[in-house]
Amino acid sequence: MKILVSGGAGFIGSHLTRALLDRGHKVTIVDAFVNYAGGDFYESFDYRKKLIKGAKLFKTRASDKKVWGSGYEVVAHLAALPIIFPKKGDFYKENILETEKVASFAKKSGTRRFLFMSSIYAQGSYRGIPYSEDMPLEPTDLYGASKGAGEQMVRFFFFDREWEIVRTAGIVGFGDHNRRVFQLIVEKHPGLPQLTLTRGVVRIFVYIDDLVDGIVSAIETKTKNEVFNIAGGVTTLDEFAKEVKKYIPNLEWKLRDAPKGELIIGPANISKARKILGFKPKFTLETAVKEYIKKFRKYGHGA
């Protein structure tokens, strides 16, 4: 299939691009190459360049008209402002308006299927039972609200065609640079303050390869107009750090109780993805950390 991946040079996008190319798809990526985290936070663009080799590249915003000169059978819209404090841009502009423009261009150019990369954050704080796809959207932060709005935008533009939505959280793997907590634990160095981790809270984790397998299945499935949770296992940050310490013995951290009102993301139910997509995560906490450390030592600042 002829597929456009927006944000295709990003953390998830570059891995997805590689998987699609390896499966014989013709892939075009569009990426503005904006580092929202600022600076050069342990990024290995050489590693991402290896992943996207073989794809056609537009270095611009996904809403740039020149990207849409030829039609795409499938669009996978991953480009977004990540869940960090933005140094430039804002969630409304980057995640809502941009999704509206991309979905509109995709429909006008004849795209048959539109996949939107959403987040468990669109459903808000953990409510004591695993997240399921049919739970109401009750976001408690701007990032989650922007992802929820993006979901509705896609449903609106592609109501008469095909759309798929993937929700996830807690991605583990080399190639991120947005200061997410799992990355900070693995890639911490002496120049950073001591790690402070939330005590006891159970969190989703999913290794990047498993996430990509789920996204590819959502793109290729004959099912349409579905939402899928794609997740791996669960861990606490303390358990994750202890696993990392097996490979980085000098890693140290302190624990704190979760501040009142802090958004907590708990486990997700993946039974729907198992049944419809045949999704089965391959990486346990132990193998996810081991593979991350292996890649980090080969390609990262600790090489």
Q: What is the largest CA-CA distance in the chain?
A: 55
- Tell me the per-residue pLDDT of 54-90, one tens digit each, with 9 for 90 and over: 999 999 999 999 999 888 999 999 999 887 655 555 8
Beta-sheet strand order (sheet of 74-77): 56-58, 26-30, 2-6, 74-77, 113-117, 162-167, 226-229
This model's pTM is above 0.75 = yes
Among residues of the chain, what percentage have pLDDT more than 90? 70
Which domains are present in the chain?
Answer: 2-299 (3.40.50.720)
pLDDT at 191 over 80: no
Contact criterion met (CB below 8 Å) for 130 and 169 = no
